[in-house]
């Protein structure tokens, strides 16, 4: 095929949708090679994470401007093939803000990305492990910044085996908090102890929300707000990042205990918040302090299967796609 200027068009393999829909709407095929605009680098993709938000964008549950065809995904680690900004060819970089608000996602062999959205990956950090922590870690860092976590505070994390919960535990422990974390497998409980959680709760047994909590982060969205608010210490903060249904707020307990409920969506974080989080992600990755449990590494051609694994609840850990 000929390009507008008369030259041959090159293609990249990509996982994309024409319209929002079920996982079956994902196609794997050739799209024209991404043309970098001003200030954009071309990155050769090494690993792409599959996050819940990717399934929401794909299905249309999260309404956001999408180019058509739309290449799915949000987080990527790759190597700069065509330099831009201060980046050099051959450098390993990551981005975690692709695939929404008019930007293409990264589930393709190559992707054009504005250089100011790219961060150098620290030396020696491998791509699959790194891409698996990006979404959870930026969520944890910005969320804990919003609630002003201080050393010595008691932080309760429910669903601590998941991407967000795992990152909240690791970041809060690193900040000197006393972390109480839940999980429902021996492997996950052992991981939480290894990461330094002061108390771990096995939710396969009888359990209840701990009391006297300063920061309450239920990554599953299952604990009723009434239970969360009444378990808080005075001036406690309940972080809400996931919720399945309407949930009445216990206003009386809220003001009598000086408790705040902080709703937070990563996609709305400011550029400055994202930049601060990116610096922290890199510091923690370089120090070996951020780990995710990776359940499946699949070829990009299996992107539809990856979405089905997540949506069916079968992926007990992160799903990562590689070219």
Ligand X SMILES: NC(=O)c1ccc[n+]([C@@H]2O[C@H](COP(=O)([O-])OP(=O)(O)OC[C@H]3O[C@@H](n4cnc5c(N)ncnc54)[C@H](OP(=O)(O)O)[C@@H]3O)[C@@H](O)[C@H]2O)c1
d(CA 80, CA 296): 25
Give the N- to C-terminal CA distance of the chain in Å, as an integer: 24
Provide, rounded to whole angstroms, the least separation between the CB of residue 46 and ligand X: 21
Tokens matching residue 75? 């987080």
What stretches of 99-148 show up as alpha helix (H) in DSSP? 127-146
Binding region for ligand X (CB under 6 A): 51-53, 135-136, 139, 159, 161-165, 184-185, 203, 219-222, 241-242, 264-266, 316
Q: Smaller CB distance to ligand X: residue 139 or 231? A: 139
Provide, rounded to whole angstroms, the least separation between the CB of residue 172 and ligand X: 15
Provide, rounded to whole angstroms, the least separation between the CB of residue 165 and ligand X: 5
Q: Smaller CB distance to ligand X: residue 54 or 153? A: 54
Provide, rounded to whole angstroms, the least separation between the CB of residue 213 and ligand X: 18
Residues in CB range of 82: below 8 A, 6 or more apart: 36, 41, 42, 89
Q: Smaller CB distance to ligand X: residue 162 or 250? A: 162
Q: Smaller CB distance to ligand X: residue 36 or 136? A: 136
* CB burial string 135-151: b at 16+ within 10 A, e below: bbbbbbbbbbbebebee
CA 293 and chain centroid, separation? 13
Q: Smaller CB distance to ligand X: residue 11 or 207? A: 207
Q: What is the dihedral of CA 180, 295, 77, 117, to 10 degrees?
A: -50
Provide, rounded to whole angstroms, the least separation between the CB of residue 302 and ligand X: 18
Provide, rounded to whole angstroms, the least separation between the CB of residue 203 and ligand X: 5
Residues in CB range of 17: below 8 A, 6 or more apart: 25, 26, 27, 58, 69, 70, 72
Q: Smaller CB distance to ligand X: residue 88 or 204? A: 204
Residue nearest to ligand X (CB): 162
């Amino acid at each position: 095929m000929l390009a507008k200027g008369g030259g041959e068009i090159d293609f990249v393999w990509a996982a994309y949708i024409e319209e929002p829909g079920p996982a079956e709407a994902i196609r794997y095929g050739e799209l024209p090679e991404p043309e970098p605009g001003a200030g954009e680098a071309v990155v050769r993709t090494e690993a792409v994470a599959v996050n819940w938000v990717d399934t929401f964008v794909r299905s249309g549950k999260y309404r956001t401007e999408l180019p058509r065809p739309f290449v799915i995904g949000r987080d990527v680690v790759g190597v700069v093939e065509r330099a831009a900004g201060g980046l050099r060819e051959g450098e390993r970089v990551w981005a975690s803000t692709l695939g929404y608000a008019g930007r293409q996602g990264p589930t393709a062999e190559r992707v054009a990305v504005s250089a100011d959205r790219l961060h150098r990956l620290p030396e020696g950090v491998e791509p699959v492990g790194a891409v698996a922590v990006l979404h959870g870690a930026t969520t944890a860092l910005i969320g804990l910044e919003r609630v002003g976590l201080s050393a010595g505070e008691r932080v309760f994390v429910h669903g601590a085996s998941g991407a967000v919960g795992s990152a909240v535990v690791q970041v809060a422990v690193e900040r000197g908090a006393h972390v109480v974390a839940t999980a429902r497998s021996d492997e996950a409980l052992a991981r939480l102890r290894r990461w330094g959680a002061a108390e771990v709760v096995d939710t396969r047994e009888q359990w209840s929300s701990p009391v006297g909590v300063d920061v309450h982060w239920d990554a599953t969205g299952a604990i009723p707000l009434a239970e969360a608010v009444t378990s808080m210490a005075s001036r406690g903060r309940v972080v809400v990042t996931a919720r399945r249904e309407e949930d009445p707020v216990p206003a009386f307990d809220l003001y009598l205990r000086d408790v705040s409920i902080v709703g937070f969506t990563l996609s709305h974080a400011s550029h400055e918040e994202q930049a601060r989080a990116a610096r922290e992600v890199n510091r923690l990755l370089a120090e070996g302090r951020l780990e995710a449990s990776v359940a499946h590494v699949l070829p990009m051609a299996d992107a539809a299967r990856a979405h089905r694994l997540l949506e069916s609840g079968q992926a007990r850990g992160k799903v990562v796609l590689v070219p």
